[in-house]
Structure 1
Amino acid sequence: MRLGLILSEVGQGFRRNLSMVVSVVLVTFISLTFFGSAILLQLQIGEMKGYWYDRAEVTVYMCIAAIPDCDGADATQEQIDAVSAQLAGDTLGQFVQKVTFETREDAFARFQEEFAGSPIVEIATLDAIAADFRIKLSNPDDSDIIIDSVSGMPGVDEVRDERALLQPIFDVMNAASYTAVGIAALMLVAAVLLISTTIRLSAFSRRRELAIMRLVGASNRFIETPFILEECWPRSSARCSRAGRSSPSCTSS
């Protein structure tokens, strides 16, 4: 097989179908970029979920007089002790790794530290802050057990799973990654159609040359190689070169 002749045929094909070749390169590049971005984003979402879910806590907020559902009364010390005993008991103790009780004073000090410089700090008062239990679970998936057991106890205003605050963020990121995968799939289909169309047009424009090659005894491989190189060379893809004899996107009609 004469390499010089094949390369000259490839060069002529590039000149004849330059715009189509550029379109194939751009479409393939964009589709692979979307596909790679989707994979990286999904991996990052998995890493973030593992990191934040392991650190997510269940918070039990005790009643304060400012909350209507608490009948205008603060949680008593007996009610706080009852919740503490429930969390440390044999039933829930096996699911709890660590329990931290935060008094109203401690919660108010933390609130002032976290929102320092915000106008809300100036209008907030100690009476608007509730004492709470911050519960670190051995397995974050057991949060429903804690919520069902503690909710409704006297003096308990709300039991909140912090994972519920993170889930909407992960839902948006998952939707973005799935959208990127869908766009990549459409772009790959478009790339395959463009490649197939380019090969067909190139073959049709040189149909007389191909007929002469067949008459003089040229092999199918000799005839097909320039068309394969025209599609595979611009993308510098070893995959396409290996699949040139069998892939629908790299064979002539």
Structure 2
Amino acid sequence: MKGFGYLAKEGLKNVWSNRIMSIASVCVLVSCLVLTGAAALFSINVAQVVESVGDSNETTVYIKSDVSQLEAVYIGKDIEKVSNVSSATFYSKDEAFKKYKEDLGEELFNKIEDRNPLPDAFIVVMDDLSQYDETVADILKIDGVDSINDHRELAKKLTDISNLVNIICVGVVAALMIISIFIIANTIRATMYSRRFEISIMKSVGATNSFVRMPFLVEGMVIGLISAAVSTGGIALLYEAVMSAITSMIPFTFIPLSNVILYVAVAFVIAGVVIGFFGSFISIRKYLKKEGNEILGW
């Protein structure tokens, strides 16, 4: 245990001794982790929206603009007669205008208040979502019905966007991971070069590869842990800022950060340590294959 403490201490000293390279390693690794975390959180939120949309048995039926509200009442009765329709609740264009005005701000809508461009609508509740297509087709046949807000099409578009973001992020993250490993490997290599005399002596007196290797592995893992801590703080600030901006423009309930931050932090720690360990492991193999004076090039 005492020997391990000494080796761990040496690894921490290495991080400080090569702080410029260590900072460069941390910056690249933080970029990699933050991008990965952002893509994952985006996908989780999209999945939640898609699930809620897919599970909703409500859909909005829009009425043609030239139809009076009295005529719309009779159209609502016709909609309720359609098989699989549980109810059809009238939602006037004035109510819709007021709701959008509250959500998106008065300044945007005050200029067009006298010529409300929104249509009257009905909020239709269906009994069985498996009959969605047939029900929609029957409703569209009713005279006066203009269109239907197809939630499933929205869900598909959201899923496509999520998949595209994931593909892009996978490529970017893969490139950044390779760069991170390369920079960490060079950081460790610089440390090993500065301590080559010490390593040569240890190898000459019979030090095992594990003993020589440990401080450098610790150095790489410490870089990974620092990167994980910085990334967790960064993703927390970024998540709150981005989600607040989105909800100010679009009514959208996102997953609270408190529900996912622990999982994000654990994932960052594991990824940071693994990348740091792997980068260190690659760089020290060259020296561990040599003995004594060979390390010094004599």
TM-score, structure 1 as length reference: 0.66
Instruction: Indicate the residue corresponding to 2:32 in structure 1.
Output: 31
Alignment deviations for residues 25-57 of structure 1 (CA, whole Å, 9 cap, x no partner):
222233222222322222222223333444473
Distance 1:222 1:240 in 2: 24
Instruction: Indicate the residue corresponding to 1:216 in structure 2.
Output: 205
Distance 2:45 2:179 in 1: 28
Instruction: Indicate the residue corresponding to 2:279 in structure 1.
Output: 249
Alignment deviations for residues 105-125 of structure 1 (CA, whole Å, 9 cap, x no partner):
x6254245436663323134x
Alignment deviations for residues 173-194 of structure 1 (CA, whole Å, 9 cap, x no partner):
6645554454333322221111
Alignment deviations for residues 112-154 of structure 1 (CA, whole Å, 9 cap, x no partner):
5436663323134xxx886644212345575333222332444
Identity of aligned residues (%): 21
Structure 2: which amino acid aligns with 1:100? A
Distance 1:243 1:216, change over 3 A: farther
Task: Choose from 80, 88, 95 the match for 1:100.
Answer: 88
Higher Rg: 1
Matched, 1:121 2:117: no
Distance 2:184 2:72 in 1: 75
Deviation at 1:213, TM superposition (A): 2.1
Structure 2: which amino acid aligns with 1:99? S
Structure 2: which amino acid aligns with 1:59? T
Mind listing any 5+ residue stretches in structure 1 that lack a counterpart?
67-73
Which shows bigger deviation, 7-16 or 134-143? Answer: 7-16
Which shows bigger deviation, 3-12 or 43-52? Answer: 3-12
- The question of whether the paired residues in 1 share the 8 Å contact of 2:221 and 2:272 is answered with yes
Which shows bigger deviation, 162-171 or 229-238? Answer: 162-171
Tell me which protein shows more helix as a share of its residues.
2
- The question of whether the paired residues in 2 share the 8 Å contact of 1:63 and 1:75 is answered with no
SS of the residue 2:26 aligns to: helix
User: Matched residue pairs, number?
Assistant: 230
Deviation at 1:250, TM superposition (A): 3.3
- The question of whether the paired residues in 2 share the 8 Å contact of 1:79 and 1:155 is answered with yes
Task: Choose from 210, 216, 225 the match for 1:227.
Answer: 216
Deviation at 1:198, TM superposition (A): 2.4
Distance 1:174 1:111, change over 3 A: same
Distance 1:138 1:182 in 2: 43
Task: Choose from 158, 181, 189 the match for 1:192.
Answer: 181
Instruction: Indicate the residue corresponding to 1:70 in structure 2.
Output: none
Distance 1:79 1:234 in 2: 67
Task: Choose from 105, 110, 118 the match for 2:95.
Answer: 110
Task: Choose from 138, 143, 147 the match for 1:158.
Answer: 147
Deviation at 1:202, TM superposition (A): 3.0
Distance 1:241 1:131 in 2: 54
SS of the residue 1:22 aligns to: helix
SS of the residue 2:207 aligns to: coil
Distance 1:59 1:240 in 2: 45
Structure 2: which amino acid aligns with 1:40? L
- The question of whether the paired residues in 1 share the 8 Å contact of 2:76 and 2:122 is answered with no
